[in-house]
Chains A and B, each alone.
Chain A
Amino acid sequence: MHKHTNRSVKPAGFSAGILFTAAVTCLSWVGPAQADEAAKQRGLEIATAVQAQDDGFGDSESAMTMTLINRAGKESIRQMRSKILEVTDAGDKSLSIFDEPADVKGTASLTHSHATEPDEQWLYLPALKRVKRISSKNKSGPFMGSEFAFEDISSQEVEKYDYTYLGDEEVDGIAVHKVEAVPTYEHSGYTRLINYIDTDRMVPVKVEYFDRKNSPLKTLSISEYEQHLGKFWRAGKMEMENLQTGKRTILTWSDYKFQTGLTDKDFNSKSLKRLR
């Protein structure tokens, strides 16, 4: 349970990959249709536009309910709150506080995210009053036993992916740009993602994830967007379906607050101890 929700929990893949790292050499799956430079350029432009429209949100707070649904339809509920501080020219800082299930109540995590360096992370265990520095290497593991991996919900910097524009389509009557994203960071559980970006609002409405064998793994549907402060779009609902196991996880957000006056000192390892 040691990573946590960042920003608006933007689906992975929206951080342009300018770097041509080792991971990109795995691009052979693209196969005969080798992506040309123009498609890459267009993909990067779209990704950058998605990211850019979120600039200047300052800080935000929100509450999240996570519903885990197994194949038999049995549900388990998790509740958490998160706080995010935008850091200009660097990765954002974020806090998550767990409220449910009750045995993890008061557990909190802190992340200082970075675009190319590994994130820094701390976990607070309330029963022991212990703050533990933890490794941020776990990208592909499940977050809180859900169908969301840590990499799906961590801060999305442009540099974390390489993009290729695949054309325009429609998803549930919404005109979208179809953009493929290949993780440039290590230890990802995916060979690639396909993002479907609403051409009007420039937000993702669907993401398809492909596993390490390039088989379809998960589909994320994002809906109930609301605009805050007349600029920032935040999703109200995300549903992740695992195509291989039939399990689903639904995230719903509420109580969004922006620019509440959070500062750096709310995001250090000491502040973890006094969160409520």
Chain B
Amino acid sequence: MRAFVTSNRLAIASLLVSLCYTPSVFAQWDVRGNVSTEVLVFPHTASHSANQKSSVSLSSEIELYTDIGDAGSLTITPFVRVDRHDPERSYLDFREFIYTHVGDTWEARVGLGKVFFGVAESANLVDFINQTDSVEGFSTDAKRGQPMINLLLTRDWGDIDLYILPGFREQTFPSEFGRPRIPVPINTDGTRYESDDRSNAVDFAARVSTIVGDWDLGAHVFEGTTREAELQFDPTLGALVPFYSRTTQVGLDAQATLESWLLKAEVVHRSGQAFTDHIALVTGFEYSFYDIQGTGADLGIVAEYLMDDRGKDGPALLQNDALIGLRFALNDVNSSEALLGVITDLDGDGNLLSLSASRRIGNSVKATVEYTGWSTDKASSSLLALDREDNVRVELSYFF
């Protein structure tokens, strides 16, 4: 954590320097971003020490972009959040601090970057570059900036993406003062690594991708520290601590776009010393009804299956689960949308329900209301840990 803060200070310092002494090769800065206020409400008293029934936080993400010469550009994207209760949720992170150079048939990027791979909705097994910023919420898409040297080669048949990833970013977790969380606190001071180099171990990855008619296809290989933390109990700390193992992962992703049908699959095989070799899979479809009854509204139906062949004994929460989702878009002036998602454990361990609605207010403000709830009627279910953490999140964001 401390090293991270230091690197952020350095980043801020260099950001200030580059802003104050902008040489003439820099064109003007393009600035965009948002400022958001979030209120979280918990209907139930917690079964752990954080007993607040509501919380409030402020956040802001600003993207600064400038061209450097004809082929280069610099993107700097700080994200900051201040949370009333949880110090782990009060932080600054650079989602991006990266130089990009675009050649004729290649592209190179150096710095802190953000990359997305994947096609599915419930989980993206092939999205292995960036660490998840879990402190942003259970169903978050937020990712931490990853140090990288990336070379993209464009060929007639598709793209080759090569990565050197020096420096590992830890997953973030709520502190003992934060909600929602599991009752046993997670202490990142006790973080364990399989590699003696800990977070300094260098990772490598390569991905090829191509488009063949209606099919978008990708294949990758990754050699490095797993992004997913395995939680282990540390008796001296009296807390769970994250453990990160080394892995060799190969994977495939595919999407077929066939009129109203999107067929999707992501599959990975992981091998390593610290765990059983295994396969994980997410596959399913999305079907959309467009312009229903001439109203302009769309309804999308998503169904996906998630599997991890280590089963219930393994660390994966989604090992034999199904997602059913509905996406409703009014396509009106305010871009009103609603999403409903239910993830069900097919072994009967419980459900995760999430419901969200959003719309624009005026030209620059967006309002989101979201409910997340866990339920189980099985005493042995791991979801029991979360069954008092149901919450409603209300967010107002101003965009500029």
Contacts and interface: CB of A to CB of B under 8 A. Distances in A.
Contact of A187 (B118, B262, B290, B332): B290
B32 A105 contact: yes
Contacts of B363: 76-77, 100-102
B262 A135 contact: yes
Interface in A218-276: 265, 268-270, 274, 276
A128 B116 contact: yes
Most chain A CB inside 10 Å of its own CB: which residue of B100, B115, B116, B397? B116
Given A130-B116, A133-B257, A187-B290, A141 B399 contact: no
Contacts of A120: 257
Interface residues of A, number: 39
A134 interface: yes
B205 to A, nearest CB: 16
Contacts of B30: 276
Contacts of A276: 30, 65
A49 to B, nearest CB: 32
Contacts of A137: 259-260, 288, 290
Contacts of A269: 211, 216
Contact of B294 (A135, A212, A265): A212
Contacts of A187: 290
A139 B400 CA distance: 31
B152 A270 contact: yes
Interface string A121-145: 0000001111101110111111001
Nearest to A269: B211
Interface in B147-180: 152, 154, 159
A148 B366 CA distance: 23
A255 to B, nearest CB: 17
Contacts of B335: 1, 103-104, 145
B366 A103 contact: yes
Interface of A: 1, 68, 70, 76-77, 100-106, 118, 120, 127-131, 133-135, 137-142, 145, 187, 189, 211-212, 265, 268-270, 274, 276
22 contacts: A1-B335, A76-B333, A101-B360, A101-B364, A101-B399, A102-B400, A103-B399, A105-B32, A118-B259, A129-B114, A137-B259, A137-B288, A137-B290, A140-B291, A141-B296, A141-B298, A142-B296, A145-B334, A189-B291, A211-B294, A269-B211, A274-B100
Given A77-B363, A212-B294, 14 more contacts: A76-B363, A102-B400, A133-B216, A133-B255, A135-B261, A135-B288, A138-B288, A140-B291, A145-B331, A189-B294, A270-B152, A270-B154, A270-B159, A274-B100
